């Protein structure tokens, strides 16, 4: 096999023969996205996995995403295409730290961004995604919320919901938080007709300059349906590239050349090939108690409209 197309064809052949569903997060390489059954944000992928009739699912994304798929589809075999692909944000907080905070703030509802480990989700009250965080938090009856692990997303939610008392913990995505205000100002100056669209994982002072703040899917939908012709994209640079393919008549600029998630870039077409052949990847195995406890916090999100 000597070119990308040959490997893709072989993966598609095995996929059909073994009835495998391939999920690709929108931050992974284009040659994987081209042959995936579903591409999208982390929560959309988990829902797609739960709905598919395939009994084997391969996640081309990071570990917490594969774990979320397993929690929602425990009867399926779920594989992470590259076992080393973790999420720097999800790995920042563990059960021990959050248990201590729960003891210190017993009257707070613990809201966990979906970018958390399955283990940590077992002691949280409700999950949110970047697209549903404001809506879910607004529906929580308790005024006091402990928001983990992303203090930038938490700050964004707090600004939309001034009546809530949202306590933040210092954590977040090093890729999104890397971009400083002066870079956003410079990008706006360089492209005065472009709208600035950013992910809420960015710093508050960057988000405050944006014309739109939303999830990866939210940013893509906004750009596709907007009347505007030019956009500065403030999230992983894959999104600007995907948008440019999908909307050739519009112009997309990356907010920063450094917005590259090295975790997502670890996942290669050969990783997917090895995984689907049965000699690579890692099967996600979670204790049944972990699955049922972590599922409560995801079910609560669905109940509140996430």
Per CB under 6 A, residues contacting ligand SF4 are: 62, 87-89, 115, 173, 175, 236, 261, 263-264
Q: Which is nearer to ligand SF4, 20 or 203 (CB)?
A: 203
Alpha helix stretches (DSSP H) within 161-268: 181-190, 204-207, 216-225, 237-246, 262-265
Sheet holding 195-198, edge to edge: 212-213, 195-198, 230-234, 251-254
Name the minimum Å distance from CB 59 to ligand 13P.
Answer: 12
Which of ligand SF4, ligand 13P, none interacts with 263 (beta carbon under 5 to 8 A by kind)?
A: ligand SF4
The contact set with ligand 13P (CB under 6 A) reads 41-42, 115, 129-130, 173, 201, 215-216
Residue nearest ligand 13P, Cβ-based: 41
Question: What's the closest the beta carbon of residue 75 comes to ligand SF4, in angstroms?
Answer: 26
CB of 240 to ligand 13P, least distance (A): 14
- 3-state class (DSSP) for residue 226: coil
Q: Min. distance of Cβ 117 from ligand SF4 in angstroms? A: 12
C-beta closer to ligand SF4: residue 27 or 164: 27
- What are the DSSP calls for 38-105, one per residue? EEE-HHHHHHHHHH-S-SEEEEES-HHHHHHHHHH-TTSEEEESSTT---TTGGG--HHHHHHHHHH-
Our CB check for ligand SF4 shows the closer of 41 and 108 to be: 41
Side-chain-side CA neighbours of residue 158 (13 Å)? 18
Nearer to ligand SF4, 8 or 263 (CB): 263
CA distances, 215 to each of 182, 212, 240 (Å): 22, 10, 13
Which does residue 88 bind out of ligand SF4, ligand 13P, none, counting CB within 5 to 8 angstroms by kind? ligand SF4
Smallest separation, CB 292 to ligand SF4 (Å): 26
The answer to whether 79 and 54 have CB atoms below 8 angstroms apart is no
Return the one option of ligand SF4, ligand 13P, none that residue 215 interacts with (CB less than 5 to 8 A, by type).
ligand 13P
């Amino acid at each position: 096999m000597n070119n990308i197309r040959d490997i893709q064809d072989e993966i598609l052949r095995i996929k059909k023969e073994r009835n495998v569903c391939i999920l690709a997060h929108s931050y992974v390489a284009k040659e994987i996205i081209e042959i995936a059954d579903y591409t999208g944000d982390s929560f959309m992928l988990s829902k797609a996995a739960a709905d598919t009739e395939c009994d084997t699912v391969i996640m081309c994304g990071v570990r917490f995403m594969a774990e979320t798929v397993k929690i929602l589809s425990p009867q399926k075999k779920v594989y992470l295409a590259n076992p080393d692909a973790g999420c720097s944000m999800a790995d920042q907080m563990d059960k021990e730290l959050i248990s201590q905070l729960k003891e210190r703030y017993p009257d707070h509802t613990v809201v966990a961004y979906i970018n958390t480990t399955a283990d940590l989700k077992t002691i949280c009250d409700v999950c949110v995604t970047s697209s549903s965080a404001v809506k879910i938090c607004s529906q929580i009856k308790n005024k006091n919320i402990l928001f983990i692990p992303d203090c930038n997303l938490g700050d964004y939610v707090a600004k939309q919901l001034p009546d809530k008392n949202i306590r933040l913990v210092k954590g977040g995505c090093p890729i999104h938080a890397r971009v400083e205000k002066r870079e956003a100002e410079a990008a706006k100056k360089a492209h005065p007709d472009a709208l600035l669209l950013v992910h809420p994982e960015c710093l508050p002072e960057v988000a405050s300059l944006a014309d739109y703040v939303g999830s990866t899917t939210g940013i893509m939908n906004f750009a596709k349906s907007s009347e505007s012709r030019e956009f500065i994209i403030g999230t992983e640079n894959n999104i600007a590239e995907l948008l440019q393919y999908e909307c050739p008549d519009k112009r997309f600029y990356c907010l920063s050349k450094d917005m590259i998630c090295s975790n997502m870039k670890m996942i290669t077409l050969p990783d997917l090939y090895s995984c689907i052949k049965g000699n690579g990847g890692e099967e996600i195995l979670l204790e049944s108690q972990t699955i049922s406890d972590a599922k409560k916090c995801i079910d609560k999100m669905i109940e509140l409209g996430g």
